[in-house]
Structure 1
Amino acid sequence: MKLIAYNVRDDEIPFVKAWGEKNNVEVSYSIDTLNAETVKQAQGYDGISGLQTIPYDEALFSEMKEMGISMLALRNVGLDNVDLTAAKKAGIVVTNVPAYSPASIAEFAVTLALAVNRKVGYMYHQLHELGEFHFSPDFMGQLISNQTVGVVGTGRIGREAIRMFTGLGAKVIAYSQSHLDDSDLNFTYVDSLEELLDQADVIDLHIPGVPENEHLFDEKAFKHMKSSAILINTARGSIVDTQALICALEEGEIAGAGIDTLENESADLQNSRSTAQVTDSNVLKLAKMPNVIVTPHSAFHTDEAVMNMVNISFNNLKQQLTGGEVDNLAK
């Protein structure tokens, strides 16, 4: 058995090597993202592990079929960039890692909420943009324990976020298409997204980037929010209409945002070796706002998460290629 991983970052390499040695499997890696051209590096391999936000498209799966490679094992949760219909047509099995570390993403969401709430961006702006360093009335924040947090989506990550926010003393409400039947978490479901938007001081997104969620947060949604509310998105960029978000921030319709993922993320965003300068006008505009913290899709990034992403992805490949039952088939 020979396996190859694409778009491997420096922090993943020790875990990739360790898995190969532990399982006595030949494992190689490439720093390239995976597409119909770069897949040619996988000639002679049995399975591929991938991690990227750019598309896995029909051309890629057709090429994999021609090469006799029958499986793509993602090292992440999201499937919105995968043409699963094309994969099925080509006979390619696709798996993901549905839960590599929900707490890592939830913790980062809480971190962003606290930082925006406590005006950390204003402090950074004063020092790094104005060259000043002193107390300011602009730095007055709010206690999270005095606020209502609205969590959108109560899957694995959403549940961890609820646990953390309630631990900080916040009142938590949630909106989700499916409800938890039995839960020891202290929160209340609301009947509609609009109801959550009307009540919440902090809105925290933990839903997938599926077509029905595209631009769920648009101009209309922002007008529903309190002018004192903040938005936290560590889920998928497509959920939020970026132009509507920028307009809402500029017009004072909402008070701030913590954004870890944006629409139309480029391959360069996931390239840890990149030295390219930022040219995306939306990123630059958001970065200059003191009431916004924007980060490069890094909410997942803890040592526990990286280890689990690598190990589960390769375990999925091994299960499939040795005739075992595969745990994490993409649907």
Structure 2
Amino acid sequence: MRFIVYNVRDDEIPFIEKWGKDHQVDVTSTTTTLNTETISEAQGFDGISCLQTIPYSRELFDSFHQLGIKYLALRNVGIDNIDMQAAKDNGVLITNVPAYSPESIAEVAVMMALYLSRKVGYMRQQLQDKHEFHFSSEFMGRLISEQTVGVIGTGRIGRHAIQLFRGLGAKVIAYDKYPLKSTNGEFEYVDHLEDIFGQSDIISLHMPATQDNFHLFNHEVFEAMKDNAILINTARGSIVNTGDLIFALESGEIAAAGVDTLENESADLQDSRSTKKITDSDLIKLSMMPNVILTPHSAFHTTESVKNMVTISLNNLKVMFTGGRPKDIVG
């Protein structure tokens, strides 16, 4: 039994090595991104563990078949970047890690809401750009308890975010295509997304990316939102039209945005050793705006998350290779 782990970050290595030792399995790590050129590194291995947001294409799964590799264990939740039909056609079973640490992502969503509600970015800009540091009445913020938070997606992460926002005293409303049977009185479901857009001071996104919600947040929606509204996206970049978001922030259609997931994320973003500078003009513009907090798809990144992502992924590979069917099978 031999497994190879792609896109390995330094923080994952101790957990990978411990798992291999504990299970007496040969596990090899590589920092390279999994694609049609690097798949050759997997020759002779029985399964692949991977973490990336760039595409897993049909050509890649054709290469899986040619190498006789039947198992791919993701170390993340999302599968929107995977050609699932191609995987099926080539006999590749895929698992994900649906709940590595919902609290980690929920905490970042709330942190961003606090940062933006208290206008910390404007204070930092005053210090960094003007080399001034003094009290200013321009930076008057708002309490979370004064605001209505709209949560879209009430899965594990969304529910943790609701608990945290509720703990700060916010009124929480939510929308989900598949609502929970009971909310325990913690929040109120609305019937239509338009209710979230129109009523929320803060909107926090916690749903998977699908064809139906591609660019869900666009110019029309930003116009429908309150002009003091804050958008938090720790879900998927494709849900928000980046160009329309920038226009909305510059024109005052909305007040602020917290962005952890980005459209068209590059392989460099997932490479902890990359030293390349940002060249994307939209990201540069967002990074310079005081009403934006921008992070590199790192909301998940805690010790607990990394441990769970590695351990569950490798456990799934072992179960599949030994003829079992993990509960985390997707597709």
Normalised by the shorter chain, which TM-score bucket? over 0.9
Aligned to 2:176: 176
Post-superposition shift, 1:37? 1.0
Task: Give the 5 Å matches for 1:134-283.
Answer: 134-184=134-184, 186-283=186-283
* Aligned-partner Cα distance in 2 for 1:225–1:22: 52
* Aligned-partner Cα distance in 1 for 2:255–2:159: 25
Letter in 1 for 2:315: N
Structure 2 runs not aligned, ≥5 long? none
* Aligned-partner Cα distance in 1 for 2:266–2:274: 12
Post-superposition shift, 1:138? 2.3
- Contact in 2 for aligned 1:162/1:185 (Cα 8 Å): no
Aligned to 1:24: 24
Q: Secondary structure at the match of 1:12?
A: helix
Aligned to 2:76: 76
Asked if 1:312 is matched to 2:312, the reply is yes
* Aligned-partner Cα distance in 2 for 1:115–1:30: 36
Q: Percent identity?
A: 61
Asked if 1:60 is matched to 2:55, the reply is no
Q: Secondary structure at the match of 1:94?
A: strand
Task: Give the 5 Å matches for 1:288-303.
Answer: 288-303=288-303
Tell me: CA distance 1:68–1:274, structure 2 relative to 1, closer, same or farther (3 Å).
Answer: same
Q: Secondary structure at the match of 1:150?
A: strand
Structure 1 runs not aligned, ≥5 long? none
Letter in 1 for 2:255: A
Aligned to 2:91: 91
- Contact in 2 for aligned 1:102/1:156 (Cα 8 Å): yes
Residue deviations 1:239-282, cap 9 Å, x none? 00001100000100000000001110110111111111110101
Letter in 2 for 1:241: N
Post-superposition shift, 1:185? 5.2
Post-superposition shift, 1:100? 0.5
Letter in 1 for 2:174: A
Residue deviations 1:127-185, cap 9 Å, x none? 11221111112221100011100000111110110111001100000011011112335
Letter in 1 for 2:61: F
Residue deviations 1:196-255, cap 9 Å, x none? 111100000001111111001011110010000100000000000001100000100000
- Contact in 2 for aligned 1:209/1:238 (Cα 8 Å): yes
Residue deviations 1:104-134, cap 9 Å, x none? 1001100001101111111111111221111
Aligned to 2:322: 322
Asked if 1:111 is matched to 2:111, the reply is yes
Query: Alpha carbon RMSD of aligned pairs, Å?
Result: 0.8
Q: Secondary structure at the match of 1:265?
A: coil
Post-superposition shift, 1:325? 2.6
Aligned to 1:127: 127
- Contact in 2 for aligned 1:163/1:185 (Cα 8 Å): no
Tell me: CA distance 1:130–1:97, structure 2 relative to 1, closer, same or farther (3 Å).
Answer: same
- Contact in 2 for aligned 1:223/1:253 (Cα 8 Å): yes
Letter in 2 for 1:32: T
Runs of 4+ aligned residues of structure 1 deviating over 6 Å after TM superposition are none
